[in-house]
Structures are given as C-alpha cells and as structure tokens.
C-alpha cells in the first residue's frame, strides 16, 4: 500500500510540474509572438522548451548557491535546440591577419577603473537583428555611431540594413559577415541613417543613396590578438569597440557576469560591441551591447568576465576612425 501511495504521489507531482511548464510555455509564446505551423511542431517545440527550462532551473540552483556568476532565464531562444541556436550565429571570423587596417597603439593615458559609454552619449538604443544573421552589421554600426559622436557631437542610429543589402562583395547578408572587412565598405561608401534606410531583417536589393550618407570612416584600427590590456586601453580611452566572441552557450543568459568553461577563445561566431567595463564584488567584467533586443539579458546587454580572454573577446577587435 505504501508503495502504491508513493507511486500515486509521484504521478501527481509529475502532472503538476508538466502543467506548470505548460503555463510557462503559453506565456513564452505570447511574449515572443511564437506560432507553429501545426500541432506536431508545437509539441516538438514544447519538449525542447521543457528540456531547456530544466537546464535553466538546474543552473540557477548553482547561481543561488554562489557557485556560478550568472543567472539563466527564459527568452526567445528557449524553444530552440543547441544546434539551431549555433546555426543562428553566423559571424565570419577567425584568428587571421586584419587587412586594410592599422594596429591600435597604446595611448599611454591612465586607464579609468571603470567606464560606461552609455552614460556619455556614445551608444544608441539596443537593436534587434531578428532572425537574420546580421550581428556583424550591428557591431560595425555600433562602433561607427560612437566614432561619429566623438567627431560631430551627434548620436545618429546608422543603417545595418544598408550593410546587409549592399556589402555583398564582402559579406553574405543574413548568412554572415566580417567585422574588419566591413569597415572597408564603410570607408568607400559611407553609411546612411537607420531613418532613411530602415532595418528589415531580410536580404534585399541595395538601395544605397550617396546623397543620404551620414558619415564615412577614414580607416579602422585593429587590436593585438589576445591582448585584453590593449582592449582595455581602447575602450577606456577611445570608445566602444567592435569585437567577435563565441556565443554558443549564451542563449539563456539573463543577468550577472557571464563565464563559461565551454566558451571557446577561438571559435568566434557572434559580433557585439564592448561599451565599457567595471568590477563587481572583485570580479572584473566587460559591458557588452548585444543585438537580440531589449528583452535579452540585462536590458539587451550582458556582462562578460574580463581578464581571461573569455569567449575570445580579445581575439578579433576593431574600431573605426572618422
């Protein structure tokens, strides 16, 4: 009898957990506008969501115990498999020489203990690349927006869609692109404002108009690979820097300082923008602007461990000159 009662209780608990997961899945679909083509796909997505939710909850137990430095949460990627998310990351980057660039030389200035260029007017609002693999374009516009602000004293949101549509001799639009090579396009053609060439999130024909260009760049500087001191100097004394990272396991990040033993220092697949740095409870971090919308992470940003070349943050780094 005791065995029977225990079995009944186990079934009841399992049913309750499944029901709670179902409620969370419905809320997830509503928040992120998720629709599926049929019930078969919806069931499959629910099962993926359930598995990811379990992993999130297990990780957060460790977070509450102080054993890991960041918290995970449900976001728009929670119904995706790891393989699907990896395919979403399309930056074309590797440990290779930079072309048509000069190397950043240390400024020789004292590096501030912390800095956040968001508070100094150099950073536009968080943007969303959608389902297009255009992270590289957002990284490039981000550092160019900051450079233009330093030059002209005006913060203008620049066009990622122009880069997606028009730099196809270098990049592959929604299927990926390069950071440093894209600056050669911006040097040649310049960038329109987002207001005149708005983001669509799909590949399109080039509608560039030279008469609408806000700014060109005169060149760009790359930083010595694996040198976080150079990155610290550039971010601290120049401004936001375009960087490439391995974001393979970043999908469920919610808050805290991201540190992951599985993160590769060389398999770089996502372009982002370092906009500052600081220290929290003795742990050093970079402030990173992402392009996955404001609902991701810390209002569209994440903090990344600083000082260990975490996720290859110092491997492929570049900023423009105007």
What does the pLDDT look like over 44-96, one tens digit per residue?
999 999 999 999 999 999 999 999 999 999 999 999 999 999 999 988 754 45
Under 8 Å between Cβ of 237 and 107: yes
Distance CA 218, CA 238 (A): 16
pTM of the model: 0.92
Per-residue confidence band for 18, with pLDDT thresholds at 50, 70 and 90: low
- Selected from 3.40.50.1950, 3.90.70.10, 1.20.1260.120, 3.90.730.10, the CATH number assigned to the domain covering 85-321 reads 3.90.70.10
| Catalytic site includes residue 135 | yes
Residue tagged active-site, from 59, 98, 220, 270: 270
State yes or no: is 311 an active-site residue.
Answer: no
Question: How high does pLDDT run on average in the chain?
Answer: 93
Q: What average pLDDT does the segment 221-240 reach?
A: 97
The tokens for 139 are 């990284």
Q: Is the per-residue pLDDT at 13 higher than 80?
A: no
**One of 104, 132, 135, 220 is an active-site residue; which one?**
135
CB half-sphere exposure, 26, CA atoms < 13 A: 5
Q: Could you tell me which residues come within 8 angstroms of residue 299 by beta carbon, excluding any fewer than 6 positions away?
A: 126
- For the chain, the residue count is 322
Three-class SS state of 4: helix
What is the torsion angle, in degrees rounded to the nearest 10, for the CA atoms of residue 42, residue 175, residue 228 and residue 265? 60
- The span from the CA of 3 to the CA of 150, in Å, is 72
Tell me which residue has tokens 């997505």: 45
pLDDT for res 93: 58
Query: Where are the domains positioned within the chain?
Result: 2-68, 85-321
Active site residue 98: no
Q: Which among 52, 171, 269, 290 is annotated as catalytic?
A: 290
Percentage with pLDDT > 70 across the chain? 92
């Amino acid at each position: 009898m005791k065995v029977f009662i225990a079995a009944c209780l186990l079934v009841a608990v399992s049913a309750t957990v499944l029901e709670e997961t179902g409620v969370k899945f419905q809320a997830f679909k509503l928040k992120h506008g998720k629709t599926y083509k049929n019930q078969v796909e919806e069931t499959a997505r629910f099962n993926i969501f359930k598995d990811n939710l379990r992993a999130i909850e297990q990780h957060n137990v460790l977070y509450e115990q102080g054993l890991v430095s960041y918290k995970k949460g449900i976001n728009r990627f929670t119904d995706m498999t790891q393989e699907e998310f990896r395919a979403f990351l399309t930056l074309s980057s590797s440990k290779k020489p930079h072309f048509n660039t000069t190397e950043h030389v240390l400024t020789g200035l004292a590096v501030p203990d912390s800095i956040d260029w968001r508070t100094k007017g150099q950073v536009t609002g968080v943007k969303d690349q959608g389902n297009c693999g255009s992270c590289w374009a957002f990284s490039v516009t981000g550092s160019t927006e900051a450079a233009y602000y330093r030059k002209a004293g005006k913060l203008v949101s620049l066009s990622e869609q122009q880069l997606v549509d028009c730099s196809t001799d270098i990049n592959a639009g929604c299927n990926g692109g390069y950071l440093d090579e894209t600056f050669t396009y911006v040097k040649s053609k310049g960038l329109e404002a987002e207001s005149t060439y708005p983001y669509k999130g799909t590949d399109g024909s080039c509608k560039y108009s030279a008469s609408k260009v806000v700014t060109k760049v005169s060149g760009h500087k790359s930083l010595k690979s694996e040198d976080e001191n150079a990155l610290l100097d550039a971010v601290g004394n120049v401004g936001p820097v375009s960087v490439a990272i391995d974001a393979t396991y970043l999908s469920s990040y919610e808050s805290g300082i991201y540190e992951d033993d599985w993160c590769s220092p060389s398999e770089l697949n996502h372009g982002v923008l370092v906009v500052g740095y600081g220290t929290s409870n003795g742990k050093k971090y970079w402030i990173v602007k992402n392009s996955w919308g404001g609902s991701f992470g810390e209002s569209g940003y994440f903090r990344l461990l600083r000082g260990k070349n975490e996720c290859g943050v110092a491997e492929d780094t570049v900023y423009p000159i105007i």
